[in-house]
């Protein structure tokens, strides 16, 4: 099964701008216009100050592995030949020490799961699945 055959991520009201930026190969997070905090995942209201005002801001695509799983479950028959595969949760370097962690999920690019360890430095890799969809994978750096 190729990446193009996989189910597509579905953007919602809050995440649509993020997916549009990813399509441009740009990694972004929200910055609260009330208190200045960076946040991700996308949400309409700031956890800190309750402001509903925010802007999307580009960030460096560097991060460190926070955690991961090795998926052995065949959730879809069409992906049966891909298991097992790792899914990583990374903490962006952007925003470190500012409060909320900026955590993103993704596949491991160029990936042998044996390299995974907590704190492993990684970088975002933008993978164009087709003419409409781009996803973010994480590659050890
Ligand atoms: Zn705020």
The DSSP-derived string for 84-124 is SEEEEEEEESTTTTSSS--EEEEEETT--GGG--TT-EEEE
Q: How far is the CA of 45 from the centre of ligand 1 (A)?
A: 8
Q: How far is the CA of 50 from the centre of ligand 1 (A)?
A: 6
Q: What is the pLDDT of residues 55-82, one digit of tens each?
A: 999 999 999 999 999 999 998 887 788 8
Q: How far is the CA of 28 from the centre of ligand 1 (A)?
A: 17
Can you list the residues of the chain whose pLDDT is less than 70?
A: 1-4, 98-100, 111
The C-alpha atoms of residue 26 and residue 61 are separated, in whole angstroms, by 8
Measured from the Cβ of residue 48, the count of other Cβ atoms closer than 10 Å reads 14
Q: Where are the domains of the chain?
A: 13-140
pTM score: 0.89
Q: How far is the CA of 10 from the centre of ligand 1 (A)?
A: 26
Q: How far is the CA of 42 from the centre of ligand 1 (A)?
A: 13
């Amino acid at each position: 099964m190729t990446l193009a055959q996989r189910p597509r991520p579905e953007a919602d009201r809050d995440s649509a701008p993020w997916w549009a930026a990813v399509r441009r190969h740009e990694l972004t997070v929200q910055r609260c216009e009330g208190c200045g905090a960076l946040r991700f995942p996308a949400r309409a209201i700031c956890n800190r100050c309750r402001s509903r005002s925010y802007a999307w801001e580009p960030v460096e695509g560097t991060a460190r592995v926070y955690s991961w799983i090795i998926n052995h479950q065949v959730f879809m028959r069409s992906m049966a030949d891909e298991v097992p595969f790792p899914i990583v949760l990374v903490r962006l370097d952007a925003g470190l020490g500012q409060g909320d962690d900026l955590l993103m999920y993704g596949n491991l690019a160029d990936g042998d799961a044996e390299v995974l360890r907590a704190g492993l430095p990684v970088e975002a890799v933008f993978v164009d699945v087709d003419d409409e969809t781009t996803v973010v994978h994480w590659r050890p750096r």
